[in-house]
Amino acid sequence: MERLVTGVPYFRPNISEEEIALVESSLRSGWLTSGPRVAEFEAAFAAQVGAKYAVALNSCTAALHLALLAHEIAPGDEVIVPTLTFAATAEVVLAVGGVPVLVDCRPDTLAMDFDAVRLAITPRTRAVMPMHYGGSAADMTSAMAIKAENPQIAIIEDAAHAFPASHELGRIGSIGDSTCFSFYANKTMTTGEGGMLTTDDSKICDHVRRLSLHGLSRNAWSRFETSSSWDYDIVEAGWKYNMTDAAASLGLGQLGRAQELAESRRQIALAYDEAFSAVPGVTPRSAGEISANACHLYVVRVDPSICATDRTGLIETLADRDIGTSVHYRPLHMHSYYAKTRGYQPEDYPVAAQQFEQIVSLPIFPGMTDSEVEAVVKNVTDAVTGRG
């Protein structure tokens, strides 16, 4: 059989001419750091997710870090995080001197297992960090029930995958104590690099904003206005985590197209769902109601007892045909750092360990053509059935 060779990247940016013009106008304004476009972006994003306040930052990692500090997570405090997540979710806990307490994932959604969360709570638990895996909401009903029972526990959401996503309790960004979003290049909307923290607590907002600019008493924008005083005070140690106006300009353009970009992802996910329903041994993860899902990732499991190849073999076959893939993620407890420092074994979190061996993320991005979707489906199908 003639081998189908076609190039489909794992991700391709979707930037409009309007967004390029917005960035250009920002650069021509002479305002290159945090300024009026950042303020506009913050207000628009807060309104979009239904939060009272938003602080634009240079990454989701920065947002998570400052959220922990603003919620006064101190050395020795325990923060419960999923083992199936990106490095940043736990690294920021270590950065503030806290103790990341890992929990397993659910086998259907791959999101944090809140039955495991309840068992992990101790008198030292000060925060729970649900991660909205793949763009579908974690079990926020359970998260907020835990908060109601334990008011001292902050719910800090890692929503790097989850704009625009929603839950029966509301839009992601309006439910927990603080929510942290990513605008990295391959996310559902982008500023190149960037992030956002949303909250309904004005004190958290003010604290995060202050920490994002070296702990200064006044922000950079007002300090350099012609009508403002030069004077400022450092009221606490902080960092340089602010967003630039150029990045915010791109964000404003992407935000204006958010529903269009999300709908494109959802249609691709639906096409994949239909196609893979007829392929034995290839099972998409359960992602809930499509209209509530940001569809950042499209993850399938490859069962080697049924398929002609395993996950690694599929990735290699697709790479040979110029089709990009990724894996989200190697569980934290299976990384050498955590194994060495905490003594973890793969079997300590058996669901995540088992799922890791089978999961692969397929291309999904706005502007992906029907022929590209068909090429991915055909090549996956050929590989797992042994036809190609």
Catalytic residues, by residue number, are 187
Q: Give the residues across from 129 on adjacent strands.
A: none
Nearest to 265 by CA among 188, 165, 371: 188
Q: Which two tokens stand for residue 257?
A: 């197209």
Structural contact between residues 169 and 175, judged by C-beta atoms closer than 8 angstroms: yes
**Encoding tokens for residue 12?**
């391709």
Beta-sheet pairing, 298-302 with 359-362: antiparallel
CA atoms within 13 A on the CB side of 97: 7
- Give the orientation angle of helix 202-211 with respect to helix 60-70, to 10 degrees: 120
Cα–Cα distance list, 353 to 100, 160, 198, 363 (Å)? 18, 22, 32, 23
